[in-house]
Structure 1
Amino acid sequence: MSINTTLSSLPINTTRNANGNGVMLSITIAAIYNGITGIIALTINAPLAYIIITRRTLWKIPHIRLCSMCFTSIILALLYCLPYPWISSSPPTSVLKIIQKPLRNFLLASFCFHLASDAVDKVVIIAFPFQYKSFVRPSIVGLNLTLVWLISLFVSFYPIISPLRRKSNVTYLTGSISEEANYHYVFYSLCIILPYSVIILCHGYLFVVALRHVRNIDYQQSKSMEELKRGRQRIIKKFRAARPLIVTSVVFLIFTVPYFVCLFIAFSLGDLPWEIRKKHLGVLMNALKASSYGLRELAFSYPAYNPFIFILFSQDLRKEIAEFLRISRKKPLLQSASTTRMTSTHLI
C-alpha cells in the first residue's frame, strides 16, 4: 500500500475522531491565519518579483534565487492559503483536496533547497572570490533552480503519483501509522534535515574563515594601523553578504522546529502498542492539539514572510523599491496634469 497523506494531516484526523468541535475550531483558526498569510504573501512577493524581473540592475544571482522563492510564495497564497476555507469543506475526492498537503510539502521543501543553495553560494563567494564568476554562471544557477523545483515536486507529490496508492480514496491513510511515518521520515530527512545540514556546515565554515582572517590581521603587527583598519573593513564588507542567510535560517528554525517536534512526538508515540501509548496519552494529545491549533500554519507560512529579511539587508532591493514607489506616485500626478492641460486647451 502507498502513502497518500502528509504527516501534518495526522493531527487533524486524530483530533477529528476525538473531538469534532476541536476540529472545527482548528479549521477556523487555520482559515483566518491562512487568509492573512495569503494576503501578505501576495502583497509582498508579487511586487517584489515584478521589480526583480523588470529591473535589469537586479538581474544578479542572489536576486534571481529570491525571485524563484517569491514565485513559490505566490503559489502558496493562490493555491493553498486563500482558498483554504473552500478546500477544507470540499469532498475528499476533489482535486484541490487531494493536492492540498503535497502542495504545502512541496513549497516547504522548495524553500529549504533554495536556502541551502544560497548558503553554498555565500561560501563560494567568500572562499573563491576571484573564481566565483567562473564557478557560478547564470546557466548553472538556472539548472540548480530547475532541479530544486523538480526534486521538490517529485518527493512531495510521490504519495499521489505512486502506482501503489489506494484507488478508493487517495486522501486516506493507506497503511499503518508506521508505514505512513516511513514516507515522512524520508521526506523530512531529504527535504528538511539534509538542506539544513548543508546550511549549518556553511555557517560553520564562514565562522572559521572569519576567525582565521581576524587572527591573521592580529598577527601582522608590523603593518600600520591604517592598513589594519582597511583589512578589517574589507573582511566586514565581505561577510555582510552572509547576514541575510544567517538571519533567514534562524527565523526559519523558529517558525518550523516546534511543529516538527510535535509531529515527531505524534508519530513516535502513535506507533507504539496501546498499553504503552495510553501511559503517554496526555503528551500525545497535547502535541496533536498544539500542531492543529497554530504550529502547523506558522511553520508553512514562512515563505510569505521571507522577503522581508532580504529587503532589509539588500541595499539594491531597497533602492529599486523606493524608485518604483516614487514613479508610481508620480504617474497619477502626471496624468492629472495632462488631463488639465487638455481640458484648458479644449475650452480655449
Structure 2
Amino acid sequence: MESKNYSNQAQSNSSSLEFQHGLWGSIGVMTLLTNIFLFSMIVSCKRLRIISNYIIASMCFVGILIALLYLLPRWTIPIFYRDPFLCQILPALGQGLLLNLNFHVCLVSLERYIIILYPFWHRQYCCKKVLSWILLTVWFFTVSFPFIPLMTYQPIRQHGCNNYIVVDKAPNLIMYYIYFSVFFFFPVAILISTYTCIFSKIMSGESKVSKTNSPFVRKRKTLCHISIIVGLFIITWLPFVIAFFALQLREKTQAQLDVLTVTQYISFSYPAINPLLYTYYTNSIREEIIFNIKILLIKCGFDIRIDEPNGVPTRTVIYMHSRQLSAKKLFNNDNQSNKVATEISYMASSKSKSTLV
C-alpha cells in the first residue's frame, strides 16, 4: 500500500513538473518570438530608425536575452537549474535582465515626456551619441547590480541552492529591499509621473485650440493608452513582489510557494506582452506594419487603398508600383490595364513632386 501511494505521488509530481516545464517553455518561446518580431521590424526598416524606436529596439533585445538566458534554461532545462553553479548564476542574471527591461520602460516614458513638454530641447540634445551613452550606462548598472552579493558576502556555493529562500537574512533582505525599490517602485513612480504630465499637457493644449469632439476623442485614446501601459506594468509585477516578500517575512509553507509560482507565471509573461503593447501604441511602428500588410495584400491581387499619413514619396512609389502590378491581374484587357498603369504612374510622379515642394 505504501509503495503504491509513493508511486502515485511520484507520478503526480512528475506530471506537475512536466506541466510547469511546458508552461515556462511556452512563456519563453512567446517572449522570444514577440521580441524578435519587433526588433527585426525596427532594425530592417529605415523609416523606423529614430531615437524613440532605438530605445524600443534595445528593450526588445533585452527581452530576447531574457528568453534565451533566463526563462528557457532556468525553468525548462533540468541540466541548467540542477547544476550548483548555474542555479546561482541564472537567477542573478535573470534579475539583472528584468531590471534592465524595466529601466527601458522608464526610458521610453521619459523620452516621450521630453518630446511632448520640451520638443526643442529634444531636437537639440537627444541624438544617437547621447542615447548610446545612456543605454550603455543602463545596461552596465542593471546587469551587474544583482551580482553584488555573489561577489561580496555570498560567494557561489558548491552544493545545491534554493532561490526561494534568502540565506543570510540581514544583508540579503537589505539587498532585496534595494533591488525591488529600483526594480518596481522606481519605475512605477517614473511611469505615473511622466504619463500624468503628458496627459495634463495634452488636455491643457487641446482645450485652448478646439471644443469639438476630435480633441475629446484624442484625450480618451491618450488616457486609455496611458492606463494600459501603467496598469499592465503594475498588475503583472505587484503580485510577485508581494508574494516574494511574504515568503521571506513569514514561515514558509507549500501554499506560499504555490502562490509565488502562480505570480511568477503572470510577472514573467510581461516581457512577452511588452513588445505587442509598444507595437500597437507606437504610431510609427503600427503604421509601418499596417502599410506592409496592405502592400502584401495588394501584391496578392486585392484592391486596397493606402493613405499616406506623412506624404512620404518612397511609400507612394511603392504603393503605385504595387497598383501597377495588381492592375495587370485585375484587368484582362491589355489596353485598359495600360491605361490604369499610366494613370497610376502619373499620380505617383505628381505626388512625389508635391511632397518635395
The TM-score, its normalising length taken from structure 2, stands at 0.69
Say whether 1:60 aligns with 2:50: yes
Kept in 2, the 8 Å contact 1:52–1:63? The answer is yes
Q: CA deviation at 1:52?
A: 0.8
CA distance in 2, matches of 1:164, 1:180: 9
Say whether 1:192 aligns with 2:184: yes
Give 1:322-333 correspondences, 5 Å limit. 322=290
Partner of 2:245 in structure 1? Answer: 264
Distance change >3 Å, CA 184–CA 24, structure 1 → 2: farther
Give 1:176-187 correspondences, 5 Å limit. 176-187=168-179
Kept in 1, the 8 Å contact 2:59–2:101? The answer is yes
Kept in 2, the 8 Å contact 1:203–1:246? The answer is no
Give 1:10-89 correspondences, 5 Å limit. 27-83=17-73, 84-87=75-78
Distance change >3 Å, CA 66–CA 261, structure 1 → 2: same
Q: CA deviation at 1:304?
A: 1.3
AA in 2 matched with 1:247? I
Kept in 1, the 8 Å contact 2:31–2:272? The answer is yes
Kept in 2, the 8 Å contact 1:263–1:288? The answer is no
Matched position secondary structure for 2:43: helix
- Unaligned regions of 5+ residues in structure 1, if any? 1-18, 218-226, 271-280, 333-348
Q: CA deviation at 1:89?
A: 6.5
Say whether 1:312 aligns with 2:280: yes
Q: CA deviation at 1:298?
A: 1.8
Partner of 1:144 in structure 2? Answer: 134
Q: CA deviation at 1:147?
A: 1.5
Matched position secondary structure for 1:32: helix
Partner of 1:251 in structure 2? Answer: 232
Partner of 1:135 in structure 2? Answer: 125
Q: CA deviation at 1:44?
A: 1.9
Distance change >3 Å, CA 166–CA 316, structure 1 → 2: closer
Runs of 4+ in 1 over 4 A off after TM superposition: 19-27, 232-246, 322-332
Kept in 2, the 8 Å contact 1:123–1:206? The answer is yes
Say whether 1:106 aligns with 2:75: no
Q: CA deviation at 1:76?
A: 1.7
State the number of aligned residues.
290
- Unaligned regions of 5+ residues in structure 2, if any? 1-8, 301-357
Write the deviation string for residues 261-314 of structure 1: whole angstroms up to 9, x where unpaired.
1112222224xxxxxxxxxx7xx653332112x211221221111111112223
Partner of 1:228 in structure 2? Answer: 210
Distance change >3 Å, CA 307–CA 174, structure 1 → 2: closer
Say whether 1:288 aligns with 2:260: no
Structure index of larger Rg = 2
The TM-score, its normalising length taken from structure 1, stands at 0.70
Structure with the greater relative contact order (CA < 8 A, sep ≥ 6): 1 or 2? 1
Kept in 1, the 8 Å contact 2:203–2:219? The answer is no
Kept in 2, the 8 Å contact 1:118–1:245? The answer is no
Q: CA deviation at 1:211?
A: 4.6
Write the deviation string for residues 196-244 of structure 1: whole angstroms up to 9, x where unpaired.
2122221332344345446x62xxxxxxxxx6258x8579769967865
Say whether 1:203 aligns with 2:172: no
